[in-house]
Amino acid sequence: MAEGQQRAAALAPFVVRSSDYELGPVAVHRGLPSSTLSITIPRSGAVEIGWLGRPGSGRRFQAAVAGLHLGAAELRQRGGARGVWVTLSPLGAVALLGVPASELAGDVVELADVAPAMAELPERLAGCGSWPQRRALVENALLAGLVRNEERAGGPALGAVLAALSATARVEEAARALGWSRRYLSRTVRAACGVTAKEYQRLLRFEAARGDLVAGARAGAVSLAAVAAGAGFADQAHLTREWRAMAGCTPAAWLRAEGMAG
């Protein structure tokens, strides 16, 4: 197995996605609610992140870690936004960063404050000339975190809990599948992730809708009614209400802002 494949296999339980990002000269990006944690590492300059609808909440970060959140954030990076973006499962918080996801929920913090050993990543990324080099650098830093936190990584129980919540539409069904009470399940999820089991399923439903919206836009045909049904919303009106509450805009407005509306 090639070195890159070995890194990917070792990180697979913890890393959902890693990619380069590049936006315009005065870039403003809306960070949508998510059931994952995110690491944003600019390749030059700093990134400003604040919460939508909360004036004065913006802070500048050399590299930022955001926990699970049910509201939208705004990311600004002047001079052209370029960098690496990594999303972690809740299991990845302890395994790679050394802190439970619950400590980061609803918050954005400096990567160096959470994982001091990764403080030099932004500077080192600036010296990488290609995405494979940047990916290898970041993955090696995460693997080093996995070694440091090996005794704390664990997480099979939490993995089973999150899988059960992902496989069902109701918390009661997930609890029944696990042989737990609803209260115990909710307490376990909140302690590990910082959100309730119901909120976690709400995030999953939102993400499913976002994925279907993107797929429909790329195919040239977006049906909000079909997206609502496919993601588990009661109807299109329910989908729109949730997007207004969680993203601060309608699905159609988000697609226009992302340049995906027809």
The token duo for 214 is 């993107």
Which amino acid belongs to residue 162?
A: L
Beta-strand runs (E) in 163-223 = none
Query: Which pLDDT tens digits describe the chain residue by residue (262 residues)?
Result: 688 889 999 999 999 999 998 766 556 788 999 999 999 999 888 889 999 888 888 899 999 999 999 999 988 876 667 889 999 999 999 999 999 999 999 999 999 999 999 999 999 998 998 999 999 999 999 999 999 997 765 566 889 999 999 999 899 999 999 999 999 999 999 999 999 999 999 999 999 999 999 999 999 989 999 999 999 999 999 999 999 999 999 999 999 988 887 5
The token duo for 30 is 């809306």
pLDDT confidence of residue 43: 86
pLDDT confidence of residue 150: 79
Alpha helix segments (H runs only) across 2-148: 3-11, 90-92, 111-114, 121-126, 131-148
pLDDT confidence of residue 259: 83
Run of H or E including 208: helix 197-219
Task: Tell which residue, 10, 34, 108, 67, has the closest CA to residue 192.
Answer: 67
How far from chain centre, in Å, is Cα 146? 19
pLDDT confidence of residue 257: 86
Q: Please provide the size of the chain in residues.
A: 262
* Residue 193 DSSP SS3: helix
Q: Is the pTM of this model over 0.85?
A: yes
The token duo for 89 is 């499962």
Residue 125: burial class (beta carbons within 10 Å; 0-12, 13-18, 19+)? buried
CA distances (Å), 185 to each of 69, 157, 162, 176, 202, in order?
19, 11, 10, 10, 16
Q: Would you say 38 and 86 are in contact if contact means Cβ atoms under 8 Å apart? A: yes
- Please state, in angstroms and rounded to a whole number, the distance separating the CA atoms of residues 39 and 98: 14
pLDDT confidence of residue 262: 56
Total Cβ atoms within 10 A of residue 218: 10
pLDDT confidence of residue 79: 61
* Burial track 80-117 (b if 16+ CB lie within 10 A, e otherwise): ebbbbbbbbbbbbbbbbbbbbbbebbeebbebbebbee
Strand order in the sheet with 59-61: 26-31, 73-78, 47-51, 59-61
